[in-house]
Structure 1
Amino acid sequence: MSDVGILINTTVAVAAVVLMIVRFKFNPVVSLVVGSAYLGLTTGLGTAETVKVISTGFGDIMAEVGLLIAFGVLMGAMLKEMGAIQRLVGTLLRVFGPKRMPYAMSLTIATLLQSIFLDVLLVISAPLARNLAPKVGRVGTARMATALAIGLECGIVLMVPGVGALALAGLLGVPLGKMLIFGLILVIPTVAISVAIMSFLFTRGWWNPDKDEEHFHQTVVDDEEEDWTDGTGGSTPRPDAGGGVAQAQRAATVTTEDTKHDRPLILLLAPLLFSLLLIATGAILDIAEISNPVVSFVSEPLIALLIGLIGTSFVGRFSIGQHRVQKAIASGFSESGQILILTGVGGSLAATIAAVGLGDILGKYFTANHAAPLLMVWVIAAVLHIAVGSVTISAITAAGILAPIAPTLGLDPVLIALAAGAGSLFAVHVTSNTFWLLQSLMGQTTRGTLKTCSVGVSVASVVAILLVLPMSLVL
């Protein structure tokens, strides 16, 4: 088939996936497989080869990140059950004080807590942020809501072990240690700068509490209080926001009555921190070309996260008992199933796109001496996210489209992964479950949520790509 025909059919396939998800409410998994099948059949792969590519793409991405995603989600489920997040927020408040809480909370969520399923993490942390808002100042609700939105969304696609970051690394063949280091280098300034920009706008009059906040009875938590109330309150999310809201609320319900606080917080988080440290150590040794068989083994991401999972399980047994650990594991398996399948079929579409030769076609139009490919992957991911409303789907699809051209251009694949992640953050809006959760749990009106979530995360998206572009000059 001609180059033009392949480009047209690829465009039609991606548009069909978006249309099926948005207009006809098909499940994203089904939509991605249908799009992959259409692309393979219409570009001359044939029935047998199309099926083989779809299956192989699914299997390849699962071999890369399947167990990693499962281990990360299971660790997060146990941390949630142990009440570690509530206690961590209390510690941050005591250390940094209320005025700096937007920065402390958003950076902590973006860098440390990405093993926890996004909706669950949001439902746990939002009531805590809402109680803190009056202490932050007159625009406290705006600043805390924006901090939550930016930290959550940036972390999921830029920071290992966020499921989006894991999927991008697997699709593009980026070593997870490298993804962890460069993601950390990018996410910290992205979050800090974006929160600062939004705080400046809010304090200069861009936030109107009468129009941007729902009026409710606010329970203020004392500075010295260590037991947090996980009450949601506020307005009810729109009915069409999806069953994920109620499911996440049920999954994330942790009361201070059920959570023991007699174990040091650092002990609860130590296994997760240790596993991330092992992964980073392995990446640093690789860059320094230092080889040690024992360190190489334990720093492999699969082994490092397994060590973290086992350690978290043992800590959980001593903290909350075996029964609740098993309950958390069961919840984690339930959460990880959808993530794994969605990531896998994202790999199927990427594999089909590579098989039809799109990479060779695009390679004719770009050279490695300019940033156009990175800007293109950012734009593709941004457009897909606006249409679909899923950060993970848009990032995976955009990366899959341009992944084949990375070797031709000489670009480091980690740059494409970060650019795709940055683009997928653009314009989180009413098609996103996160949007409605933030509106309800933070006591905002739709107008207010458009400011804190849609504009806030879009600012982070632009800041991130502006930071990624200079990286292409040194990588």
Structure 2
Amino acid sequence: MSDTAILINTAVAVLAAVLLIVRFKVNPVIALIIGSIYLGLSTGLGVTKTIETITQGFGDIMVEVGLLVAFGVLMGSILNETGAISRLVEHLLKTFGPKRLPYTMALAVSTALQTIFLDVLLVISAPLARRIAPKIGQHGTARIATAMAIAGEVGIVLMVPGVGAVALAGLLGVPFGKMMIFGFLVVVPTVLISVAIMSFFFSRGFWKAESDEQLVLGEETGTGARKLEAAGQDDEVSTGSNGTAPAAVNVQTQQQRETPLFLLFVPLLTSLVLIAGGAVSEMLGYEAGWIMLIGNPVVALLIGLIGTILVARSAVGQKGVDRGIASGFKESGQILLLTGVGGSLAATVSTAGLGNILGGFFSASTVAPLVVVWGIAALLHIAVGSVTLSGITAAGLLAPIAPTLGIDPVLIALAAGSGALFMVHVTSNTFWLLQSLFGQTVRGALKTVSVGVSVASIVALGMVMILNIFI
């Protein structure tokens, strides 16, 4: 088959998947599988080879990321059950003061809290953040809403153990420890710079309280968060929100309050330190057996999960832990399926021969390919409306040619993740959740979410370009 025919059929497969998701509301997992089947059959792989390629691609990516996603989601779900997130917000407020809260909250959400689903994180923290917005200073609502939008979305696709970052690393063959370290180097300056840029815009008249703010549903009765949570969905994987969150948010037992906050987060932080330590040791060539064992991301997250269970027992009892685990299993299912079909698409693209064709369009230049990767992911996100899905799809298309670009695969993963952040808009469930929870009009949400996260997308690409100079 000619190169032109392969390119046309690939474009049709991707556009068909987008159309099924956006126009006909087909689940992304089903839509991507349909697209992969069409691509395999239309490029002459045949029925048997197409199915074998799809299933093998699914299995290969599950080998890479399956346990990581499961352990991370379980850990986050149990932490949610303990009420640790709302307590952390209160602690940050007391420690750093209201004026610095947008920055401290953004850093916490985008790094250490990426095991928590974004919708659950917002529902838990938004009521408190909303109450203290007036204390932040001028345009407090705009600043805290922007900080949460930027931090949540950036962390998901750029910071391990965020589900998008894990999927991108798995698809592109990037060691997870390396993805975490370089993701951290991109995430921190991106979040701080983006929040600062948006704060500057707001101070120059970009925010109009009379037209950009509105009363939060249930704000006067204190029931708004509970009402909104029932409608909340995880934008990144198009799956339902954590049904047990209200118990953790609204029912704080004396036992929970007595459990030191730092102790609740020690297992999670330990996991992250172990993963980073293993990656650093590997890069330095020090590969002692015991370091490689505990620094392996699967083992490190397993240690963190066991530690979280033990600590949570003292906070919420065994029944609370069981509720968290049950919720985590429920939430992790579609994440794993979505990640797996991303692997199926990547395998089909590679087998169909598109990788060799695309390789000819990319220069060995160390700049242009990253911009193109960013652009592909950005276009997919504008069409589909899901940060995780667009990043995974872009990575699936580019994985076959990653070794030929002369660029470290971690930069390709970060560029794809950065592009997937561009223009979060009305097709995103997170857009509407942020709009409701933070008392914004649609016009206000377009400024804080759409513009804010797009600024972060561009800043993140700049950070990736800077990293490209050194690696």
Alignment of 1:59-98 (within 5 A): 59-98=59-98
Q: In the alignment, what sits opposite 1:257?
A: 251
Query: TM-score, normalised to structure 1's length?
Result: 0.94
1:86–1:124 contact (8 Å) kept in structure 2: yes
Give the AA of the match of 1:248: S
Report the Cα distance in structure 1 between the residues aligned to 2:190 and 2:270, rounded to whole angstroms.
25
Shift of 1:470: 2.5
TM-score by length of 2: 0.95
Structure 1 residue 232 corresponds to structure 2 residue 224: yes
- In structure 2, the residue matched to 1:6 is 6
Q: Distance in 1 between matches of 2:234 and 2:191?
A: 28
Question: How far did 1:472 drift?
Answer: 2.1
Q: Which residue of 2 aligns with 1:268?
A: 264
Give the conservation status (yes or no) of the 8 Å contact 2:157–2:388. yes
Residue 368 of structure 1 aligns to a residue whose secondary structure is coil
**CA deviations over 1:290-342 (Å, ceiling 9, x no partner):** 12111110110000000000000000111110011001100110010111111
Alignment-mate amino acid for residue 244 of structure 2 = A
Contact 2:158–2:417 at 8 Å: present in 1 too?
Answer: yes
Cα distance in 2 for partners of 1:307, 1:201 equals 44
- CA deviation after TM superposition for structure 1 residue 362, in Å: 1.5
Deviation digits for residues 410-432 of structure 1, max 9, x if unmatched?
21110110000000000000100
Amino acid at match of 1:406: A
Where does residue 392 of structure 1 map in the other structure? 388
Does the 8 Å contact 1:190/1:464 carry over to 2? yes
> Alignment length, in residue pairs?
467
Q: Where does residue 331 of structure 1 map in the other structure?
A: 327
Identity value in percent: 62
Query: What letter is aligned with 1:440?
Result: S
Q: How does 1:11-22 map to 2 (within 5 A)?
A: 11-22=11-22
Q: What is the rounded CA distance, in whole Å, between the counterparts of 2:240 and 2:138 in structure 1?
A: 32
Per the alignment, residue 345 of structure 2 pairs with 349
Structure 1's 61 and 234: CA in aligned 2 closer, same or farther, altered over 3 A? closer
Establish whether residue 403 from structure 1 lines up as the match of residue 399 from structure 2: yes
Residue identity matched to 2:224: T
State how far apart, in whole Å, the 1-side matches of 2:72 and 2:314 are.
Answer: 20
Contact kept, 8 Å, 2:21 with 2:31, in 1: the verdict is yes
Give the Å deviation of 1:403: 1.6
Does 1:117 find its partner at 2:109? no
> Partners in 1 of 2:40 and 2:68 — Cα distance?
29
Contact 1:235 1:440 in 2 (8 A): no
Q: Secondary structure at the match of 2:241?
A: helix
Q: Which residue identity lines up with residue 232 of structure 1 in the other structure?
A: G
The 3 A distance-change label for structure 1 pair 230 and 358 is farther
> Any idea what the Cα deviations from partners look like across 1:341-399, whole Å, max 9, x if unmatched?
11111111111111112121111222222422111111111111111111111001111
User: Does residue 416 in structure 1 map to residue 412 in structure 2?
Assistant: yes
The range that moved more, 253-262 or 6-15, is 253-262
Name the amino acid aligned to 2:35. G
* Residues 89/330 of structure 1: CA separation in 2 closer, same or farther (3 Å cut): same
The aligned counterpart of 1:433 is: 429
Using the TM superposition, name which of 425-434 and 131-140 deviates more.
Answer: 131-140
Q: In structure 1, what is the Cα distance between the partners aligned to 2:379 and 2:119?
A: 23
Cα distance between partner residues in 1 of 2:444 and 2:62: 39
Alpha-carbon RMSD: 2.3
Give the structure 1 partner of residue 54 of structure 2. 54
Pair 1:138-2:138 in alignment: yes
CA contact (8 A) 2:164 2:388 kept: yes
1:63: Cα distance to partner?
0.7
Residue 297 of structure 2 is aligned to residue 305 of structure 1: no
